[in-house]
Amino acid sequence: MISLSTSSTYPESTAHGFAYAAEVGYDGVEVMVGIDALSQQTHAVKQLSEHHGLPVVAIHAPTLLFTQQVWGFEPWGKLERSAEMALEVGAEVVVVHPPFRWQRDYAAGFVDGIATLERSTGLRFAVENMYPWRAAKRATQMYLPHWDPSTEHYANTTVDLSHAAIAGDDVIEMARRLGSRLRHIHLTDGTGSAKDEHLVPGRGHMGADRFLRHLAASGFDGEIVLEINTRKSGSREGRLADLRESLDFAREHFRA
């Protein structure tokens, strides 16, 4: 099952994300809860899912830097609301970023708090790999407990290839370290620059084809979600072409 993140069609709306996914032929959708008002409304997300006949496979909690004001400033409240939306729309996964270094109280109880949420909701909170922030050839740890989820005892995790590119991580080795705890994939690509590029898979240096083949050979049965940046596609036709190329790439190389 290959799904599309609604962030892949930003700055167009969540409704456009569902429409693109249906037109290109994706199997499902991951909803990025963000500044688009539709993404914050459970009933709207449910209606879009039903209208296009596409299941919502995951809810991405608003834990990014630019979504700090979405659903209030209290981080646990954001995760609880994300869980409520996931349960209502039938998603089994909530994707969440680790805390920023300035969220020290949140970070101190993060690992245990995620486990508690999983027990209370029955959902998988898949903690995503991030990266150090780099400037002037210096790297700064901006996430606690760490940007690499394999360093902690999370039951469920997400691997994002663009984030791994910035961190200089080997995604196949990370997948091996995570083992069965790897639940969710953000399929994209990167060149290793300090910028979070989210390239169409195959256009970067992360060996996305080898990574997909490794997942298939290891029996991965979680969600694979295309999360790419199409803002420079130039036109609707260009965006559609990038989305089709990404879907074709995923289906070609992930053959269980």
pLDDT in tens, 224-250: 999 999 998 989 999 999 999 999 999
Structure tokens at 123: 């959902």
- Rounded Cα–Cα distance for residues 256 and 183 (Å): 16
Structure tokens at 138: 């210096």
Give bridge partners of residue 3 from the DSSP assignment: 28, 225
**What was the pLDDT predicted at 43?**
97
The three-state DSSP-derived secondary structure of 35-76 is CCHHHHCHHHHHHHHHHHCCCEEEEECCCCHHHCCCCCCCHH
- Rounded Cα–Cα distance for residues 212 and 79 (Å): 29
Which value, to the nearest 10 degrees, does the dihedral of the CA atoms of residues 71, 73, 79, 81 take? -30
Is residue 171 predicted with pLDDT exceeding 90? yes
Is residue 68 predicted with pLDDT exceeding 90? no
Is residue 135 predicted with pLDDT exceeding 90? no
Q: Phi-psi region for residue 251, left (φ > 0), alpha (ψ -120 to 50) or beta?
A: alpha
Q: What are phi and psi of 238, to 5 degrees?
A: -65, -40
DSSP-based three-state secondary structure for 126: strand
**What was the pLDDT predicted at 167?**
94
**What was the pLDDT predicted at 136?**
61
Question: Higher confidence at residue 68 or residue 34?
Answer: 34
Do the Cβ atoms of 225 and 4 come closer than 8 Å?
yes
pLDDT-derived band at 28, boundaries 50, 70, 90: very high
Angle at 28 between CA 1 and CA 87, to 5 degrees: 110
Q: Which amino acid is at 181?
A: R
Domains of the chain: 2-253 (3.20.20.150)
- Give CA separation, 93 vs 12, 29, 255, in Å: 24, 12, 22
